Amino acid sequence: MMAVSAFSYRSSEGDVLDDVVFRHYGSRDGRELELVLEANPGIAAVAERLPIGTVVLLPTIVSAPERREVSLWD
């Protein structure tokens, strides 16, 4: 996966980074969270309770194309 651009989100009262990431991407597999942490240096320190008004960059994620193996005998 690769991040190419970002959407910004301004946190509200009670926001937790994991939930913000889940609402935006619809997944809890961790890959998205890793990219969000990379895009927002230092945010891990407040991830469990984001201060109101914190701007979180949510990168647009582009998945690598799936490789399909071809066999001469298919």
Residue 16 lies in a domain: yes
| 52 — pLDDT class (breaks 50, 70, 90) | very high
- Residue 20 counted as domain residue: yes
Say how many Å lie between the first and final Cα of the chain, rounded: 29
> Is the distance from CB of 51 to CB of 13 less than 8 angstroms?
no
Whether residue 14 is contained in a domain is answered as yes
Residue 22 lies in a domain: yes
Residue 67 pLDDT > 80, yes or no? no
Left, alpha or beta for 19 (phi > 0: left; psi -120 to 50: alpha)? alpha
Is the pTM of the predicted complex or chain greater than 0.85?
A: no
The reply to whether 73 falls in a domain is no
How many structural domains comprise the chain? 1
Contact (CB, 8 A) for 13 and 2: no
User: What is the rounded average pLDDT for all residues in the chain?
Assistant: 87
The domain in which residue 48 lies consists of: 2-62
Instruction: Decide if 72 is inside a domain.
Output: no
Report yes or no on 24 lying in a domain.
Answer: yes
Is the residue at 71 inside a domain? no
What is the pLDDT confidence band of residue 17, given thresholds at 50, 70 and 90? very high
pLDDT in tens, 23-44: 999 988 889 999 999 999 999 9
